Amino acid sequence: MIKAKLFKIFSLYLPPLIKKDFLMKKIALLSILFISLGAKAATPTSQDVLMQLVKNAHGGVELVKIDGQTSYRGYVGTGYQYFFYKEKAYVKPEIDVRWGEIRYKNNTDNHYVKTTSIAVPVTVGYNVFQQDLIGMNIFGGVRFEQILNSSNKNFETKINNSQIGLTGGASMRLMNKFSVNASYFYGLTSLFNDGTGKMSAFSFSFNF
């Protein structure tokens, strides 16, 4: 039942991305495979799911770089960990709401576009160690993003609303009370329909 709910959620955002090209199809299928492996490894109860969603609720800031221009976006979200190997290796699908201003260059002029989007990272992670004072996880995977709306004060900008890229990072668990997370995103698609606007970003977030 949990797996069915996850597939329902992901089905809202994956189709626009899967239609893009063959590479995206392969990445999307691999992501669904990871989710399936995690779901088969455990049969969580509704209470388990709720506790995980609360535990993995997070908020943070993303430093976006396009054409040498740096801008900032905020985000909040949550996720769920599916352990498939001795409470060490896991699959973690997440969902975030992201908003903010993205700066870019058009010819020689600097511009910006304001966006609101839904991002769906799907990562595979590993618990490197866990002690009373500190613990560490590493993770990597893909991130799908669907831009829901965009606006620009200078002129109408043609945005590529469906974005996909690779992500990886680490999480430090302190005193088994809260976590500080850092990750890097490398976009495989362009922000604009004409093929310009390659995006990369560093994200920093916090959760209990």
pLDDT tens digit sequence for 55-76: 899 999 999 999 889 999 999 9
Cα pseudo-dihedral 22, 27, 32, 34, rounded to 10? 150
Arithmetic mean of pLDDT, 22-49: 60
**Domains identified in the chain and CATH numbers:** 2-207 (2.40.160.20)
Give per-residue pLDDT as tens, 76-119: 999 999 899 988 999 999 999 999 999 887 777 778 889 999 99
| Prediction pTM value | 0.79
Give the residue ranges of DSSP H helices in the chain: 2-11, 14-18, 22-41, 46-55
What do you get for the CA distance between the two ends of the chain, in Å?
27
